[in-house]
Structure 1
Amino acid sequence: MALHIAVQDDHDYLNEKQLQQVKDLLQFAADQMKVGNAELSLTFVDNPTIHKINLEYRGKDYPTDVISFALEEITEEEVPIIGEDVPRVLGDIIVSVPKAVSQAEEYGHSFEREIGFLVVHGFLHLLGYDHMEKADEQEMFALQEDILNKFGLTRS
């Protein structure tokens, strides 16, 4: 099944090859997680933009590397839309490219590996994974590493 990805990169941070790799990675992750027919948006931004989003939605007054907004979290008042041809709408992933650049340098791996890590991290959040508790963190980070390594985006 296909994962439909709407990408926005207003600053043209990623070249065509990098964008295709990110799309391929997300499709691979969706296949690994058996997501099926779904869609999400992926936006690449600068530090001031993600800082503003982080402050407005999370109350954190600093730029972060990735933020996800899951749309499958249904409240009591909402009714899920279920249909054979209706894709799951997973949500939005927002990545700070300048943060990814600095973190890739800090961790000593490629920019592509760092972007891949952040995108998979955001994707797993959309699927309901978190890292608030130690056991949840271990599970989520193990999944991230497994997906990235199987895809070929290793730390070296």
Structure 2
Amino acid sequence: MTTLAKNKIRIFNRPKFVTLRNSDIINWISDVLLINSITGVRVNIIFVTIGEMKAMNRKYRGKDKPTDVITFSMVEGKFTQYSNDMLGDIYVCADFIKSKNKKEILRRVIHGLLHLLGNDHKGEKELVKFISLEDKFLKLIKTN
């Protein structure tokens, strides 16, 4: 019998930008990884202020404005084999989550995770496919 390596997901939510239980967010990420047959990876979710996000966007993307999500992948390539490794960091700007409801937070987290898994949305066609993927996972994941 084969045992699947467990994913390690850490949440950095200071000072409580998002009022959800960390376990909810961890379960969502775990579900998306499981649906994609990915095990044994580490992912960090970091909630930041609009000022922190603007500084990161300027430094790493050359854009002098805040954005909702920035990811830093520790592996490259859409079909890379994930094995007991750091997948990456997902930075979410809490100020962009207007209503702070579960679905809106989940969409931002899924957005970041899809980037870590090698998906992108540079053109209009890619954006439509990307949003379709987000919607697919939103429907599959239980948020109760």
Q: Which residue pairs with 1:61 in the alignment?
A: 64
Supply the RMSD in Å over aligned alpha carbons. 2.2
2:10–2:26: 8 Å Cα contact kept in structure 1? no
Q: Which residue pairs with 2:16 in the alignment?
A: 12
Structure 1 residues 31-46: aligned runs within 5 Å: 31-46=34-49
SS of equivalent residue, structure 2 residue 97 = helix
SS of equivalent residue, structure 2 residue 64 = coil
- Unpaired runs of 5+ residues, structure 1, are 75-79, 105-109
Normalised by the size of structure 2, how large is the TM-score? Answer: 0.84
Instruction: Name which of 96, 99, 104 aligns with 1:99.
Output: 96
Deviation at 1:24?
Answer: 0.8
- Unpaired runs of 5+ residues, structure 2, are none
SS of equivalent residue, structure 1 residue 36 = coil
The structure with more radius of gyration: 1
Structure 1 segments of 4+ aligned residues over 6 angstroms from their partners: none
Deviation at 1:88?
Answer: 2.8
Deviation at 1:3?
Answer: 2.0
Q: Which residue pairs with 1:23 in the alignment?
A: 26
Q: Kindly indicate whether residue 94 of structure 2 is the aligned counterpart of residue 136 of structure 1.
A: no
Q: C-alpha deviations, 1:35-90, integer Å up to 9, x for none?
A: 1211111100110010100111001111111101111028xxxxx9x89xx51311
Between Structure 1 and Structure 2, the one with more helix by share is 1
Q: Which residue pairs with 1:89 in the alignment?
A: 86
1:151 maps to amino acid = I
Count of residues paired in the alignment? 137
Structure 1 residues 108-147: aligned runs within 5 Å: 111-147=101-137
Q: Percent identity?
A: 26
Q: Which residue pairs with 1:107 in the alignment?
A: none
Cα distance in 1 for partners of 2:131, 2:44 equals 22
Normalised by the size of structure 1, how large is the TM-score? Answer: 0.78
